[in-house]
Structure 1
Amino acid sequence: MRRLTTLILTLATLASPGLAQDMRAPGVAADDSRQIVDITGPPWNSIARVQTNIGGKCTGTVIGPRLVLTAAHCLYNPRTRRLLAAGSLHVLLGYERGDYKTHLTVDALHVPTAYDGTKPGESVRHDWALLRLSAPADVPVLAPASRAAASGDSVALAGFSQDRVHLLMADRDCAVTAQGKPAGPGGMLIFHSCSASRGTSGGPLLVRTDGQWRLGGVNVGITAQAGNLAIWPDGLDGAIKALSAP
Structure 2
Amino acid sequence: MKTLIALLAFLAAPLALQAGEGGALRSLTTGDDSRGWEGVGRLDIAGASFCTGALIAENLVLTAAHCLYDKATGRRFAPEEIEFLAGWRAGRAAAYRGARRAVAHPDYLPDGEDRASDLALIELDQPIRNSRVVPFATGDLPFLAREVGVVSYAHDRAEMPSMQNICNVLGRSGATLVLDCEVDFGSSGAPVFEFSTGAPRIVSVVSAKAFAGDAEVSLGTDLSAPLAELRAMLAAEGDGVFTRARPTVTRLDNGAAANRTGAKFVRP
| Bin for the TM-score computed over the shorter chain | 0.7 to 0.9
Report matched runs for 1:98-177 at 5 Å.
Answer: 98-119=91-112, 121=113, 123-137=114-128, 138=130, 139-145=133-139, 147-148=140-141, 152-177=145-170
Report matched runs for 1:13-32 at 5 Å.
Answer: 13-14=8-9, 32=23
Structure 1 stretch 32-41 or stretch 93-102: which is displaced more?
32-41
Q: Does structure 1 residue 97 correspond to structure 2 residue 94?
A: no
Structure-2 change in CA distance of 1:33 and 1:207 (3 Å): same
Structure-2 change in CA distance of 1:205 and 1:108 (3 Å): same
Contact 1:154/1:173 (<8 A) preserved: yes
- 1:134 maps to a residue whose letter is D
User: Aligned-pair distance for 1:149?
Assistant: 5.9
Structure 1 stretch 73-82 or stretch 100-109: which is displaced more?
73-82
Contact 1:97/1:166 (<8 A) preserved: yes
**What is the distance in 2 between the residues matched to 1:174 and 1:114?**
28
Q: Does structure 1 residue 216 correspond to structure 2 residue 203?
A: yes
**What is the distance in 1 between the residues matched to 2:142 and 2:192?**
8
User: Aligned-pair distance for 1:159?
Assistant: 0.4
Residue segments in structure 2 that go unaligned for 5+ positions in a row: 12-20, 240-268
**What is the distance in 1 between the residues matched to 2:41 and 2:105?**
21
Q: 1:235 aligns with which of 226, 231, 235?
A: 226
**Residue of structure 2 in register with 1:6 after alignment:** 3
The alignment yields a C-alpha RMSD, in angstroms, of: 2.2
* TM-score, L = length of structure 1: 0.80
- 2:222 maps to a residue whose letter is W
SS in 2 for 1:158: strand
Structure-2 change in CA distance of 1:65 and 1:80 (3 Å): same
Contact 2:69/2:110 (<8 A) preserved: yes
- 2:190 maps to a residue whose letter is G
Q: Which has the higher helix share?
A: 1
Contact 1:177/1:192 (<8 A) preserved: yes
Structure 1 stretch 45-54 or stretch 57-66: which is displaced more?
45-54
**What is the distance in 1 between the residues matched to 2:71 and 2:191?**
24
Structure-2 change in CA distance of 1:235 and 1:194 (3 Å): closer
The sequence identity of aligned pairs, in percent, is: 23
SS in 1 for 2:165: strand
Q: Deviations over 1:12-70 (max 9, x none)?
A: x3359xxxxxxxxxxx97xx11112256521x111011011141111001011100000
**Residue of structure 1 in register with 2:187 after alignment:** 200
Structure-2 change in CA distance of 1:15 and 1:91 (3 Å): closer
Residue segments in structure 1 that go unaligned for 5+ positions in a row: 17-27, 182-187
Q: Deviations over 1:88-125 (max 9, x none)?
A: 11100121122222210011111112222123x2x322
Higher RCO, 1 vs 2 (CA within 8 Å, ≥6 residues apart): 2
**What is the distance in 2 between the residues matched to 1:219 and 1:151?**
20
Contact 1:82/1:117 (<8 A) preserved: no
